[in-house]
Amino acid sequence: MPAAVARLISPRALTLSALIALAVATRLVIFFFPGVIPYNFTPVEALGLFGGAWFADKRSAFIVPLAAMAASDLIIGLYPLLPLVYACIAGSVLLGFGLRGKRSASSIAVAAVVSSTGFYLITNFGVWASTHMYPHSLAGLLACYVAGLPFYPATLAGTLLWSAILFGGYALLTRRWPTLAAAALTR
């Protein structure tokens, strides 16, 4: 088999492709089948944390969650706050870098809470600052945060659950197939 083909079907490439496909599929189900999965209950932030914590190639840590967002956004539609949302996902990757070497359940949970809360605070601030939906005053900012509150629990729960699935699932897989730790996520 030629080396280029082998790289395309390597365990690493398959793993990364599966992670992207999972995130894209989840976002599309949320968008096209409202109510099946709560809005904002996506694996994208958890994928950023996971990539930052585990991917040896730091570029892949950013590319995987951002590629999932881009692929699904091309289908769902583009929106004005897209750069801000992508910056939040990149922030999740940076938080994931902080998990390297200390991937305990508690540190992963704290990172998931920080990531979700940061996403809520930053994106709602972006809505307030970049639109005329709310007065540009402290009262308007507070109203924007209050209006965004119904979405926060799903973001938080989604990031926590998907983090548990990704980190926990990977831990179980590497126990069963120790070579996966080296082959799937390293360069």
pLDDT: which is higher, 7 or 136: 136
Full domain range(s) for residue 47: 3-183
Total domains in the chain come to 1
pLDDT digits 0-9 by tens, 73-117:
999 999 999 999 999 999 999 999 999 988 899 999 999 999 999
Distance CA 19, CA 12 (A): 11
The confidence score (pLDDT) of residue 117 equals 98
Position 104 scores a pLDDT of: 93
pLDDT at 78: 92
| pTM summary value | 0.88
Give the tokens for residue 41.
């209950």
Q: What is the mean pLDDT of the chain?
A: 89
pLDDT digits (tens, 9 = 90+) for 156-176: 999 999 999 999 988 887 888
What per-residue confidence (pLDDT) applies to 184?
45
Q: Indicate whether 139 pLDDT > 70.
A: yes
- What percent of the chain is modeled with pLDDT above 90? 72
Give the chain as a DSSP string: --HHHHHHTSHHHHHHHHHHHHHHHHHHHHHHSBTTB-TT--SHHHHHHHHHHH-SSHHHHHHHHHHHHHHHHHHH---TTHHHHHHHHHHHHHHHHTTTT---HHHHHHHHHHHHHHHHHHHHHHHHHHSSSS-SSHHHHHHHHHHHGGGHHHHHHHHHHHHHHHHHHHHHHHHH-THHHHHTT--
pLDDT for res 8? 53
